[in-house]
Amino acid sequence: MNVAKRGWSAGWLALPVALALVAGGCGGPANGDAAKPAAEKDREAVRIPVQVASVELGPVSAAYEGTATLEARREATVVARTSGLLLDLKVEEGDRVEKGQVLARLDAEQHRLEVAQAKATLDRLQREFKRTKELHEKKLVSADEFERVRSELEAQQAAYDMAKLQLSYTEITAPIKGVISTRLVKEGNWIQEQQPLYRIDDFQPLEAKLHVPERELSLLESGYPVSVTTDAVPGQSFHGSVARISPVVDPDTGTFDVTVSMPNEDGSLKPGLFVRARIVYDQRQDVPLIPRTALLTEDGMSSVFVVEEGVAHKRDIQVGYDDGHSVEVASGLEKGQQVVTIGQNSLRDGTPVDVVEG
């Protein structure tokens, strides 16, 4: 009796364990999460952080972009028009000068004496001509004598005028207005005729010559707006216009020259600066736009990642104008859709994402 009781009790205690094993075996396939590998569940939990921007309507422009070097529209080398000792320099490099302003003075003493000598001779010949004319009118002097005296007077008048002109050349003046960019002499130097003294550059306006591919010839016209940037003045854009377009294409390079005029009233730009120029030749209004950073290009195809309900979907699109900041979407997106601007390199079609603020 005691043995029977002990056997029943042991069987009764083993029953819950068996039922638990059976229940566990039957319920395993029905519970999908329990059946998935741990690594797969970890992957589903990972959401890639991204930044997004909305597709918005706005203006966009088409433009040609190129590089060039700024040049002064007008420049002049100031040369001495007579010889002499350089006594005085009136201006230095960096000074602004006006047309006709005195820049330097040469020793003029010799030229003053030549003017005085020529004037004395001229006065004498004028008196002689007056007497000869009176005698000629009374037929007391031959016509040949009268013509000789008149010729001498005219020649001396020319000599006197030349002496005065040479005297005026001792004051060296600016042929154009601008800025003294180079001084080539020092006080006390003996200056020869035609010797360079200064170089003047007119900084207002400056010009840049672009060598544009021939395919752009039909797109550009004089007067089109131009924006210019340079590393010498970071963070600032300067605005000008197309001044002229060469009608001839260089057969060796396949380019034509486009000259850009840049106002430079504050003098921020200097000749010789390397600049990047952008010539706008068309504009569109109220078109769908996305940031340039959202665009992906592969094998000539354009695409973006669109975020919908926390999931990124790759979407092929057709693009239009690109102004360097915004890109026109010709087809494939609608206003208000969100596109990934940062983090898309880590995405695949269908990747869960977590949108974070910029």
- Average of pLDDT values for 156-185? 95
- Quote the tokens at residue 18: 């068996």
Query: If DSSP codes are grouped into helix, strand and coil, which group holds residue 100?
Result: coil
Give the residues across from 258 on adjacent strands: 210, 245
Give the span between the Cα atoms of 65 and 229, in whole angstroms: 11
User: Does residue 212 carry a pLDDT above 80?
Assistant: yes
Within the chain, which residue ranges are assigned CATH 2.40.420.20?
48-58+285-355
Cα dihedral value 165, 171, 176, 177, nearest 10: -150
pLDDT band at 344; cut points 50, 70, 90:
confident
pLDDT of 36: 52
Instruction: Check if CATH label 1.10.287 holds for domain 108-169.
Output: yes
From residue 16, how far is each of 9, 23, 89, 256 by CA, in Å?
12, 10, 116, 94
Within the chain, which residue ranges are assigned CATH 2.40.30.170?
65-72+203-284
User: Does residue 4 carry a pLDDT above 70?
Assistant: no
Contact between 312 and 318 (Cβ < 8 Å): no
Cα angle 152-157-161, degrees, rounded to a multiple of 5? 150
- The percentage of residues in the chain with a pLDDT greater than 90, rounded to a whole number, is 73
Question: What digits encode the pLDDT tens for the residues 286-343?
Answer: 999 999 999 999 888 999 999 999 999 999 999 999 888 899 999 999 999 999 999 9
pLDDT band at 92; cut points 50, 70, 90:
very high
Within the chain, which residue ranges are assigned CATH 1.10.287?
108-169
pLDDT of 2: 43
Among 196, 199, 184, 190, residue whose Cα is nearest residue 86? 190
pLDDT of 358: 64
- For 346, how many CA atoms within 13 A lie in the half-sphere containing its CB? 12
- Average of pLDDT values for 145-158? 94
- Average of pLDDT values for 146-161? 95
pLDDT of 265: 84
Cα dihedral value 42, 43, 45, 47, nearest 10: 150
- Quote the tokens at residue 346: 């880590």
More confident residue, 36 or 217: 217
- Average of pLDDT values for 96-111? 95
pLDDT of 37: 57
35-49, 113-127, 189-203, 282-296: the lowest-pLDDT one: 35-49
Instruction: Check if CATH label 3.20.20.60 holds for domain 48-58+285-355.
Output: no
27-36, 50-59, 136-145, 208-217: the lowest-pLDDT one: 27-36
User: Does residue 219 carry a pLDDT above 60?
Assistant: yes
The predicted model scores a pTM of 0.60
Instruction: Check if CATH label 2.40.30.170 holds for domain 65-72+203-284.
Output: yes
In the sheet where 102-106 sits, what is the strand order? 171-173, 102-106, 84-89, 190-191
- Average of pLDDT values for 187-216? 94
pLDDT band at 18; cut points 50, 70, 90:
very low
- The percentage of residues in the chain with a pLDDT greater than 70, rounded to a whole number, is 87
Query: If DSSP codes are grouped into helix, strand and coil, which group holds residue 322?
Result: strand
pLDDT of 203: 87
pLDDT of 45: 55
